[in-house]
Amino acid sequence: MAENKTCKQCGQEFVVSDDDLAFLEKISPVLNGRVYKIDAPKLCYTCRQIRRLCWRNERSLYKRKCDKTGEEIVSVYSPDKPYKVYKNSVWRSDDWDPMSFGREFDFNQSFFEQFNELLLAVPRQANNTTIVENSNFCNQTWQTKDSYLCFNAGYAERCYYCTETFYTKDCIDCFDIRNCEYCYHCFDCDHCHNSMYLEHCENCSESYFSYDCRGCNNVLLCAGLHNKQYCIENKEYSEEEYKKKLKEIDFGRRSVVEEYKKRSGEGMLKAIHKENNNVKTENCTGDYLIECKDCKKCFNAYKSQNCVRITNIDADSKDCRDLDYITEAELCYDGTSNAGYKNRFSVWTAYGDSNLYCNFIDYCSNCFGCIGINHKQHCILNKQYTKEEYDKLVPKIIERMQKDGEWGEFCPMKMSLFGYNETMANIYHPKTKAEAEKIGGKWQDKEYNPDYKGEAYEPKDSIDDYINSDEEVKKLLAGVLKCEKSGKPFKIMPQELAFYIRQRIPVPTKHSEVRYKELFKLRNPRVLYHRQCMCDLPGHDHSGHCPNEFETTYAPERPEKVYCESCYQKEVI
């Protein structure tokens, strides 16, 4: 029977469906022939996601000492954090043994109390990078080379200030792009080249300030074009006319760029917007889904099926629920940064199976409350047991957790390794310090940004000032800039300036984090609204207003024209 519940955190009513309850029973551990059923959640979906995302610091980086070698390292843990932090290569070496921190379960304490003590004892990896070269100031990246301040990125080379970028080269200030090269300030683009200020574009090159274009070359201020070239504001020109008009526009001047950004925004509001940004999906609800089937309330997912309430699936996941940032996962539940089979209530569980309440473990099976171990099985709180001992002890721990109201609940925010304002929770669900602390979150008060009180260098309006003057280049690279919006100091790197000069892009006047937040605002909130198609055009298989209804991330009060898939295809393609 479906359960109607009231969230114990925000007070909102929510429903745990029959399907949810069946799923929980399916993933509940079976020990000695008995099913230890996972209880229905006590918090609504949003509050559960906030609790999980509090455990993922993706963007806050600090300099601190390695607690093993004393070397200065770049870490997601600020110097005032109480955890032991090791340089990545040391953490993954044989110079220490996470099993040496193992301890017996104490039935005079709650599980979460003991798990928190283990979190404080076991050394942690400085940041979450794998197979990277000359990319120290990055996090949640893999197969990345010569990149700087990139986050949640894979197979990136010579990229700077990019987030959720995959198979990219020579890109700056981009968010959610794939297979792109020489792109600047682009959002949700695939296979684009030598372009800037694009949104929702695919297979475009040498294109600028355009929205929802496919297979286009040499377009400017265009929206909804497919397989076109030499167009300005959706009007087609000859190659000679287009190039002549383009030559008259100086995109190397900041004031001109700001003017065209404004014009692009105005054009986007007039464009037709499809109900969602899904591609090759079947029976799905959500947004930014690619090649997915039977996924409900999912966002930014790739090649997955039968998943519910999940965000950021890199690939090949199925039958999972209530997760964030996963890949190749099956029957996993209520966690973040996970892969594998039947991993539940865990953070960064890389593959393996049947693990519960674990943190940063690799290729482990049947482990409970473990941290930092790899290729192990039948461990509890980092202590090794036989299968028989494990199967006997875990039920007793579960019974204690049931008594304490912990069983079936993700780890509380007060145990998180980070302040709320350091995590992805604050990106997707921003709160003040008082609001975060009210729901049990921590807050990182101490700032570790460079304290610069000297004179700030003011970048020139035109990139030509640096192309034509070595003296200005020296001043820029030696100087410290002050963000015109946040006031934070920042610098321009030589490689970065070389990109701006090559692409004729004016030097930025805003801090990279401010620029990221501007890009982030281009992504619709991950909330679904029930709406009706706004099309009333003739020739679309309907008379008068289109009757089609759908769920979309465009709120009803927004000004965009939102069409159903059918009307969009007829009008735009």
Q: Are residues 264 and 188 in the same domain?
A: yes
Q: Which candidate, 331, 307, 309, places its Cα nearest to that of 322?
A: 309
**Spatial distance between the Cα atoms of 30 and 37, rounded to a whole number of angstroms:** 9
**Beta strands 489-490 and 481-482, pairing class:** antiparallel
Q: Which residues contact 111 (CB under 8 A, 6 or more apart)?
A: 105, 357, 369, 397, 400, 401, 404, 406
SS3 assignment for 366-414: EEECCECCECCEEEECCEECCHHHHHHHHHHHHHHHHHHCCCCCCCCHH
**Which DSSP string corresponds to 254-311?**
HHHHHHHHHHHHHHHHHSEEES---BS-BS--EEEEES-BS-BSEEEEES-BS-EEEE
**Region for residue 190 given its phi and psi (left: phi exceeds 0; alpha: psi -120 to 50; beta: otherwise):** beta
Residue where a domain stops, chosen among 290, 313, 330:
330
pLDDT over 80 (residue 573): no
In-domain check, residue 9:
no
pLDDT band at 23 (very low <50, low <70, confident <90, very high): very high
Please say whether the dihedral angle defined by the alpha carbons of residues 448, 453, 454 and 455, taken in this order, is positive or negative: positive
Structure token pair of residue 497: 């300036």
Confidence of residue 480 (pLDDT cuts 50, 70, 90): very high
Residue 80 pLDDT greater than 80, yes or no: yes
Query: Are 167 and 269 members of one domain?
Result: yes
% residues pLDDT > 70 (the chain):
100
Using the 3D structure, point to which of 330, 357, 372 is the last residue of a domain. 330
Q: Domain tally for the chain?
A: 4
Distances (CA, A) of 78 to 66, 71, 135, 422, 426: 12, 15, 19, 10, 17
As a whole number of angstroms, the distance between CA 57 and CA 83 comes to 15
Q: Indicate the helix (H) or strand (E) that contains 196.
A: strand 193-199
Q: Residue 5 pairs with which residues in a beta bridge? A: 14
* 270 and 296 together in one domain: no
Pair (190, 247) in one structural domain:
yes
Confidence of residue 66 (pLDDT cuts 50, 70, 90): very high
Whether 137 is covered by a domain: the verdict is no
Same domain, 311 and 267: no
Q: How many whole angstroms separate alpha carbon 448 and alpha carbon 232?
A: 46
Residue with tokens 């917007």: 273
Q: What is the pLDDT of residue 477?
A: 97
**Within a domain: 411:** no
How far is Cα 337 from Cα 429, in angstroms, rounded to an integer?
Answer: 18
pLDDT at 543: 86
Are residues 252 and 235 part of one domain? Answer: yes
Average confidence (pLDDT) over 146-170:
97
Indicate if 216 and 261 belong to the same structural domain: yes
For residue 365, give the H/E element and its range.
strand 365-368
Q: Which two tokens stand for residue 69?
A: 């070698």
> 169 and 259 share a domain?
yes
Is residue 377 within 8 A of residue 365, CB to CB? The reply is yes
DSSP structural state of residue 39: P
pLDDT at residue 1 tops 90: no
Q: Report yes or no: 510 and 261 within 8 Å, Cβ to Cβ.
A: no
Are 242 and 326 part of one and the same domain? no
pLDDT tens for 106-144 read: 999 999 999 999 999 999 999 999 999 999 999 999 999
3-state secondary structure of 114: helix
Q: Is the pLDDT of residue 265 over 80?
A: yes
What range does the domain containing 549 cover?
A: 529-572
Mean pLDDT of 405-410: 97
Whole-angstrom Cα distance, residue 22 to residue 57?
32
> Looking at residue 22, what is its pLDDT?
97
pLDDT at 572: 81
pLDDT digits (tens, 9 = 90+) for 230-253: 999 999 999 999 999 999 999 999
Closest CA to 515 of 119, 5, 261, 174: 174
Structural domain contains residue 150: no
Q: Is residue 214 part of a domain?
A: yes
Same domain as 514, residue 478: yes
Non-local (6+) Cβ contacts of 200 within 8 A are 187, 188, 189, 211, 212, 277
- The reply to whether 388 falls in a domain is no
Give the whole-angstrom CA distance, residue 350 versus residue 265: 41
Domain-embedded: residue 545: yes
Buried b (16+ CB within 10 A) or exposed e, 93-102: eeebebeebb
Token pair, residue 125, equals 């990896």
**Domain membership flag for residue 288:** yes
Helix 470-478 to helix 494-503 angle, to the nearest 10 degrees? 130
Relative orientation angle of helices 111-121 and 387-404, to the nearest 10 degrees: 120
Residue at a domain's end among 297, 313, 330: 330
Question: Is 422 exposed, middle or buried, given 0-12, 13-18 or 19+ CB atoms closer than 10 A?
Answer: buried
Q: Are residues 269 and 282 in the same domain?
A: no
Query: Both 228 and 325 in a single domain?
Result: no
| pTM metric for this prediction | 0.95
